[in-house]
Amino acid sequence: MFNIDHPLKLPFLREVAIVMMTCILFCLSCTVKRTATPTPLVRLNKIEPPILKKHAEKMDVAAEFKKVFEASHLTFTYPEQIDSFYKRNEFQPVLVSRFMPDNQLRTLEDYLGNANVHGIDPEVFSVSRIKKLLDNYNDKDSRRKEWEVYQDAMELELVIADAMIKYSNALQFGITDPARVYINYSSPTLRPDSMSIIQVFEVRNIKTYLDSIQPKDKQYLALQKALKSEKESDSIYRTLMVNLERLRWKNKPTADKYVLVNIPEFMLSVIDSGKVVLRMKVCVGEKEVNKETPQLSSMIYSVQVNPVWNIPQSIASNEIITYAKRNRYYFANNDINVYRNGKLVGDPEAIDWQSEETGSYSFKQQPGEQNPLGRIKFLFNNESSVYLHDTPTQSPFKQSIRAVSHGCVRVEQPLNLAYALFGKGPKFDQIKKAMANGYPRAKYIGLPLQVPVCITYYTAWADKKGVVHFYKDIYGLDDVLYKQVSFPFSQLY
């Protein structure tokens, strides 16, 4: 397309003309007169080989570029951010002119084409479209009209911008928003903001940048390795795929010490400085409306030794009052105080629960051996009013599937958990003594330093040797997530 032998008097102009063999569109763009505007985010190099000036005179490149953008506007995941960037740069193309001479766009194509190593369909990033546009652009024997080449280059610029943003955000934040995927989810989760979206326009070396955003977490790398070797089972592939997505979410504790509960594994771990210092079995909520244990993150701030159980209204209505209808001494036998409109009822046996309107009643079970919270509960703020707690019933810990609670998490070794949180000292001694007291009284003991707790849902998890273990999807959340990550990227936000 270029005549390299065109007479150029200065050597540096000859070099510029050679560069422009792969940058036709951007030669034109530099002839557009710039107005006095604030310094743009990206400084563009002016390239003005005389051979193309005659074409520039016939064409308003910025205007044509804007037309291509507006035609593609609705197909982009982040049209506002892309539009804002190019407006600030007077609709001058950036990425193709920067990366085409070094063949970096083929590197980008390779990375996008291998997105399946992350459990992501490469077509989420329009890789086929990018390949076709790159092939067309680099086809030296093509007899297409010059304007068709320009138009392809304009479209390539925008498709690359959109794909780089999506790939960057996918690896750093995940391709879904878990708060939109799950109803019972309340873990604070970082999502892409404007700065993270436009950072791709600052990239100078594609390979260096894409390597830098590859997740480095050991769990992620172990699941990636398992995904790569999985060739037989679609169900295992899908399980690895959705758990890689969960690992990309920015919802992980950053403190040195934290408590991690994995619902499908029915296990609790205390992690300190990257090492598991305590592991124990737990029981979680049944798969039933209002009984599933939620995914959440919070801070354990206190324990209540010999706790009082404020019986939730749903349990009171569905269970407690039913027992009272069968046995009027049920409340006395189980150390349950009855309150009407907040006032203690002195003689609950006199209440006819068969005919009484129960909505004005509330119930509190006092500390003791029959209290389902056992000898201690671990408190943290959350919207679902759940907590970690002891239990007088130990038999469920012998079961492999331990989804038996009303939503709270029952812990197998509560005293060991208290020691892991408080450490050696007078507060732990106080807890130990109070739990052993034959005449228990409820007592709050605050943690000197709050400890994060993260209740998660992973159906694939690697042990310290990198061996991946799989767990039953007890709440059916893998299927919910798989449907979301299988959709085109643009439909997920």
- DSSP 8-state code for residue 4: T
> How far is it, in rounded angstroms, from Cα 135 to Cα 128?
11
**C-alpha–C-alpha distance, residues 175 and 484, integer Å:** 9
Residue type, 277: V
Say which of 27, 30, 283, 408 is annotated catalytic: 408
Active site residue 389: yes
The neighbouring-strand residues paired with 443 are 305
Largest Cα span, the chain: 110
With CA atoms as reference, report the closest residue to 417 among 445, 393, 389, 448: 389
The yes-or-no answer on residue 30 being catalytic is: no
Name residues whose C-beta falls within 8 Å of residue 29's C-beta, 6 or more positions apart in sequence: 44, 61, 62, 65, 92, 93
- Which one from 23, 27, 389, 454 is the annotated catalytic residue? 389
| 362 residue type, one letter | S
The encoded tokens of residue 5 equal: 């032998």
Closest by CA position to 362, among listed 310, 419, 302: 310
Round to whole Å and give the CA distance between 145 and 70.
Answer: 22
Give SS3 for 257: strand
One-character DSSP codes across 333-397:
HTTEEEEETTEE-S-GGG--TTTS--TTEEEEEPSSTT-TTTTEEEEE--TT---EE--S--GGG
Which helix (H) or strand (E) segment holds residue 378: the answer is strand 376-380
Contact 459, 243 (CB under 8 A): yes
Q: Which residues are catalytic?
A: 389, 408
